[in-house]
Chains A and B, each alone.
Chain A
Amino acid sequence: MILSLQNVETFYGNIQALRGVSLEVNAGEIVALIGANGAGKSTLLMTICGHPQPRRGSVKFKGKELVGQTTYQIMRHGIAQVPEGRRIFPKMSVLENLAIGATLADHKHYAKDLQEVFDIFPILAKRQSQRAGTLSGGEQQMLAIGRALMSRPELLLLDEPSLGIAPLIIKQIFNTIKMLNRERGMTILLIEQNALQALKIAHRGYVLQQGEIVMTGAADQIMSDPRVQAAYLGTGG
């Protein structure tokens, strides 16, 4: 178990966003966290990152308590995040974006890691001297993932990688995520509204509803649950 959340409660002022959430991610698996708009998915991810800090509960990464640490300290333990809306550095070149991702990594891996990112996303190699802001949405998402990989993370947090991207590119990005996990053994916590896509590549899943985990289990088990099908997959009654 690489990441574990125990009874985490997070508040925005007086509004409770997470109600005693417990969640586990084991090394080498993809865990999908699905839920409707406003269920608290992004809050959960941001709580792991320490912003906002949970009011109660504990977040442990490889046995170390993360609660109480600031975001940048948490990210130095080997967690990388691909933020919602990508948040690349638009005026800087693709290559610079990737280099910033490697700021905290050991410099001697830089060339090798860069080559790996270019192998995964060949389009980035082609665009490397281009301003990141001029990339298409899908390319920006690839850049955001590539930038996160440059820090050599042990756990990758992906926040809505399909947001605002053409369906064909979504498929490609999910294939890449799957490949990262199956071939490179990357541990991934995937947060998605696009439940079907996410559960297809995940090993296990959690369903979040109004700040509570209402269902958990193997991905195919969740996918075949009638309630989930009705609510998120649009195939039920």
Chain B
Amino acid sequence: MKNSTQTAAKKLSLPHSLRLAVLATLVAVVLGIPMVALGTTDQNGSLILVQRWPWLLWLAIVIFVGRLFTAELAAHGVVDSLKTWLSSRHPNRPKFRDRNPAILWLRGKLPEPTVTLLLLAFLLPMMPFTDRYSIDLATTVLIYVMLGWGLNIVVGLAGLLDLGYVAFYAVGAYSYAIISQTLGLGFWETLPIAGLLAALFGILLGFPVLRLRGDYLAIVTLGFGEIIRIILLNWQSLTNGSRGIGGIARPEFFGLSMSQTAGGDSSTFVDWVNGNLTMIGQWFGGSEAGLEAYRLSYAPVHRITFLYFVILGLLFFTDFLVRRLRNLPIGRAWEALREDEIACRALGINPTMVKLSAFALGAGLGGLAGCFFAARQGFISPESFTFMESATVLAIVVLGGMGSQIGVVVAALFLVLVPELGRAFADYRMVGFGAAMVLIMVFRPEGFVGERKPSLILGLVGKAKSKAKTKGVQ
């Protein structure tokens, strides 16, 4: 029975594939006329129309052959088996992590995967191949990880689709910029204030949208993100409008300035190191000339490396906080609310408090990331806080696998590094990036890390019992 249907499918597949190919070619030609065949170029200051009909012909041929090929592949089950192979969902094949001896050996010996990755990240600036550019890039990745973890609480755990997350990032950044310039507070004093202010804005947004879910919530949060950006643009006296705020103070290292010249009464990091070096040298009776080799001279990479460690420290804190919360009743309540709000009410859980806490915490983490962003850039303007940013962070959360901490890290690496590596291909990099996104969603619709790890493992009491039972079965 099964065989006959298969042969029937094979016989019929060619005309069907041809139909698909013709259809795709038609669409390509219709789209191609304005986009490929007709183009405008600048000639002596005036626009003229150029016609490129041969290009269109080539496009049509490529699309026709390509679609015919893919349709035939699909008809013969190649795509399906490829999918199965790629997603390692083959029934008789154990998962990679269950058969790789190295992973099996490491299992149980390493801390949490996120902690492991952060510890590895700690070593990055000490690697021989690391230069200024790679540390800078890694810092960008880490900012997105921080934003991803923040939004993950709201979208991944509590299931509230937030399209305006960039608003809290902006609140954090502007909090630091304005507070440091008007009140003269430093980075470390402002950091908690920026977080709290952003959390406050999270609650402000949370209140009106408590009754909304899904699409409706997404629209309102999208609007909220735009409102904040437009306020930043127009409140000239406070935010300096579209010109932005510049000259934002850099973070200090325990009161030591990381810049070349000391500002105010603080000395520079380099002077401090060299001063201590002289002191240590005197203890051991070394000569000034011998110490000369160890003397630091000012280099911008110090500051960049320092900033990298600052955001890494923030990430250790965030990871600990989020993992801890997930194991507490409030974390489980977030996830329960995502699953079934009515059942939550029936269990006496106050959905208002649960939602607001998710909004506040997610926003607060976004605020911390924003504060760091302002301190790192030294200059912020509303242009840094467009919807594109919200979309990127949301893509990180969804691509990583909703609710997964480690998934966010993987997705942030992917979303920041792939466009960056593609710079060599300039015009085509966004095409490649888009294709990569589509492929991931085809082959891994649940995200990189689609599996949810339970927050509770075997309960104290049930442990012995269930073990005895499984043994009995064996």
* A residues with CB within 8 A of B: 49, 51, 70-72, 75-76, 80-81, 83, 87-93, 95-96, 98-101, 103-104, 111, 114-115, 118, 122, 125-126, 128-129, 147-148, 151
Asked if B426 is an interface residue, CB under 8 A from chain A, the answer is: no
Query: Could you say which residues of chain A place their CB within 8 Å of the CB of B335?
Result: 89, 91-92, 96
Chain B residue at minimum C-beta to C-beta distance from A82: B346
A125 to B465, CA, bound (A): 7
Q: What residues on B are CB-neighbors of A114 within 8 Å? A: 459-462
User: Are the CB atoms of A75 and B461 closer together than 8 Å?
Assistant: no
Name the B residues within 8 Å of A81 (CB-CB): 346
**Most chain-B Cβ atoms within 10 A of its Cβ — which of A70, A80, A95, A151?**
A95
Q: Quick check: is B214 within 8 A (CB to CB) of the other chain?
A: no
Whole-angstrom distance between the alpha carbons of A92 and B159 in the complex?
Answer: 14
By the criterion CB–CB under 8 Å, are B469 and A91 in contact?
no
Complex A-B: 8 CB contacts under 8 Å: A49-B346, A70-B345, A89-B343, A92-B452, A96-B332, A99-B456, A111-B461, A114-B462
Inter-subunit contact A103/B329 (CB<8 Å)? yes
Q: Does B466 contact A (CB under 8 A)?
A: yes
- 10 additional contacts (CB under 8 A) given A114-B462, A128-B466: A72-B349, A92-B454, A95-B462, A96-B455, A96-B456, A103-B333, A103-B347, A114-B460, A125-B465, A129-B454
CB of B346 within 8 A of CB of A83, answer yes
Which of under 10, 10 to 19, 20 to 34, or 35 or more describes the interface residues of B? 20 to 34
Whether the Cβ atoms of A147 and B347 lie closer than 8 Å is: yes
Query: Is B340 an interface position by the 8 A CB rule?
Result: yes
Tell me which residues across on chain A come within 8 A of B458, comparing CB atoms.
Answer: 95, 128-129
A114 to B465, CA, bound (A): 13
Interface core residue of B457, B460, B462, B465 (most chain A CB under 10 Å): B462
B351 at the interface (CB under 8 A from A): yes
Contacts of B461 in A (CB 8 A): 111, 114-115, 118
Residues of chain A contacted by B332 (CB below 8 angstroms): 92, 96, 99-100, 103
Contacts of B466 in A (CB 8 A): 125-126, 128
Q: Would you list which residues of chain B between 305 and 348 have a CB under 8 Å from chain A?
A: 329, 332-333, 335-336, 339-340, 342-348
Digit string of B6-36 for contact with A (CB within 8 Å is 1, else 0)?
A: 0000000000000000000000000000000
Contact A75 B459 (CB under 8 A): no
Neighbour of A103 across the interface among B340, B349, B469, CB < 8 A: B349
Instruction: Enumerate chain B residues within 8 angstroms of A93, measured Cβ to Cβ.
Output: 454, 456
Q: Which residues of A contact B340 (CB under 8 A)?
A: 87-89
Chain A residues within an 8 Å CB radius of B462: 95, 114-115, 118, 125, 128
Contact B457 A129 (CB under 8 A): yes
**Are A83 and B454 in touch, CB under 8 angstroms?**
no
Cα distance A93–B456 in the bound complex, in angstroms? 8
The reply to whether B469 and A126 form a contact with Cβ atoms under 8 Å apart is yes
Q: Bound state CA distance, A91 and B350, in angstroms? A: 21
Q: Is the CB of B345 within 8 A of A75?
A: yes
Of residues 427 through 461 on chain B, the ones whose CB sits less than 8 Å from some CB of chain A are 452, 454-461
> Which residue on chain A has the smallest CB distance to residue B346?
A81
In the complex with contacts A92-B336, A128-B458, A71-B343 CB distance below 8 A: no
